[in-house]
Amino acid sequence: MLRPLIALVVMSVALAFASESFATADNLFNVMRQVSVNLCISVGMTLVILTGGIDLSVGSILALSGAVAAGLIKSGISVEGANLHIGFTFFGVVVVALLIGGALGWFNGQMVTRFKVPPFIATLGMLTIARGLTMLYTNGHPITGLGESFEYLGTGWFCGVPMPVIVAALVVVLFALFMRKSPWGRYIYAIGGNERATRLSGIDVKRVKCFVYTVAGVLSAVAALIVTARLDSAQPNAGTGYELDSIAAVVIGGTSLNGGKGSVWGTVVGALIIGVLNNGLVLLNVSPFWQQVIKGLVILLAVVMDRMNAKEQQ
């Protein structure tokens, strides 16, 4: 984790000199707000990658959870046969969004563990399914005007800190503790290190893996709530490309794509690097096309360094 941290510090200092707008409180809060969405998804992705898997469906799960949450808080559900209208409170839509995220993640887990579908394929399928369901639910239109209480989650401040940052910080601390202190955290590392040995030592690998994909789904839903609240609307194409940003954050943060090695804190640094890089390139007026090229090169560099490290250790 030391190398990415040094890279983050060097990059931040360089940007502070290159652009006078970078090191301002407004801009740093802005970076943190932007990073918070990727961070929530990336924490879930860290757990998945630590087991040696991958989850490509996080962006689509985000879109579906956000759309359903927005639809429910806006219109609720009318049951004409029973002459009932069920409205949803803010708490209610949070619960439903997390349940949807969790259910889709659990489905991914079942595909990977029970039906032995490679994680890449299983989650690629879910990527398309969830995106299609989002389009069906929204008819391809954004759902807007979700009310102030919902909006507060994305744009509000608490004790001088933006709400999205508080949510992301809670997620990070919770899962950093979970990975370090709980037996399940150790099981996750163990599965990534040597799945067969873990199974032979009596750990229910299928259950742990399924749990990990479920967590990734739930955290995508958390990110969905932040994005939807921040925009005060659910966009049917929300979350497109988020899977790549989160994988990039995890890999740059030092988590091995082979599993078994890495940490939530490393992912925090990785997400900050991606966020600072995005922000810095915008402040320096770099063309959006070049921004993509540069981001891609940074990700490749991180993976190459990971491979070289692994080789050295062998």
Partner 1 sequence: MKRVIKAIAWCVVVVIILALSLKVERLDERTTAEFDPTEQVEHFWNDALPALLIGDRVVGVELFCQALKNNRQLLIDRYGLTLGIGAPYSLLVGGAFTVTEVGEELTTLRTEAGATFLMRTAYIFGNTVREATGAFSIDDYENTMDFNRIASELNDRVVERIVAPAEEFLQAGNRLRVVGAIDLTPKGPADEAFELIPLSIQPCE
Q: Which is nearer to partner 1, 144 or 201 (CB)?
A: 144
Residues 192-210 as b or e (16 or more Cβ within 10 Å = b): bbebeebeeeebebeebbb
Q: Which is nearer to partner 1, 56 or 143 (CB)?
A: 143
Going by C-beta distance under 8 Å and a sequence separation of 6 or more, which residues neighbour residue 297?
A: none
Q: Which is nearer to partner 1, 230 or 261 (CB)?
A: 230
3-state secondary structure of 78: strand
Which one of the spans 77-85, 103-111, 266-274, 294-302 is the region binding partner 1 (CB under 8 A)? 77-85
Residue 201 binds partner 1, judged by CB under 8 A: no
Residues 213-232 close enough to bind partner 1 by CB under 8 A:
232
At residue 286, what are phi and psi to the nearest 5 degrees? Answer: -75, 140
Residue 91 binds partner 1, judged by CB under 8 A: yes
**Residues 142, 199, 237, 257: which binds partner 1 (CB under 8 A)?**
142
Pairing verdict, β 233-234 and 143-144: antiparallel
Q: Which is nearer to partner 1, 71 or 270 (CB)?
A: 71
- What is the residue type of 167? V
Question: C-beta of 9: minimal distance to partner 1 in Å?
Answer: 32
* Residues 181, 214, 223: CA angle, nearest 5 degrees: 90
Q: How far apart are CA 264 and CA 179, in angstroms?
A: 8
Q: Which is nearer to partner 1, 195 or 232 (CB)?
A: 232
Question: C-beta of 151: minimal distance to partner 1 in Å?
Answer: 10
Q: How far apart are CA 277 and CA 233, in angstroms?
A: 27
C-alpha closest to that of 262 among 21, 25, 42, 23: 42
Which one of the spans 16-24, 111-119, 144-152, 278-286 is the region binding partner 1 (CB under 8 A)? 144-152
Q: Which is nearer to partner 1, 36 or 233 (CB)?
A: 233
Question: C-beta of 233: minimal distance to partner 1 in Å?
Answer: 8
3-state secondary structure of 173: helix
Residue 138 binds partner 1, judged by CB under 8 A: yes
Q: Which is nearer to partner 1, 26 or 80 (CB)?
A: 80
C-alpha closest to that of 97 among 238, 208, 207: 238
Residue 95 binds partner 1, judged by CB under 8 A: yes
Residue 21 binds partner 1, judged by CB under 8 A: no
Residue 136 binds partner 1, judged by CB under 8 A: no
Which one of the spans 91-99, 198-206, 217-225, 284-292 is the region binding partner 1 (CB under 8 A)? 91-99
Q: Are 157 and 148 in contact (CB under 8 A)?
A: no
Residue 296 binds partner 1, judged by CB under 8 A: no
Q: How far apart are CA 73 and CA 90, in angstroms?
A: 7
Q: Which is nearer to partner 1, 87 or 183 (CB)?
A: 87
Going by C-beta distance under 8 Å and a sequence separation of 6 or more, which residues neighbour residue 206?
A: 113, 114
Q: Are 195 and 204 in contact (CB under 8 A)?
A: no
Residues near partner 1 (CB under 8 A) are 74-76, 78-80, 83-89, 91-93, 95-96, 138, 141-145, 147, 232-233
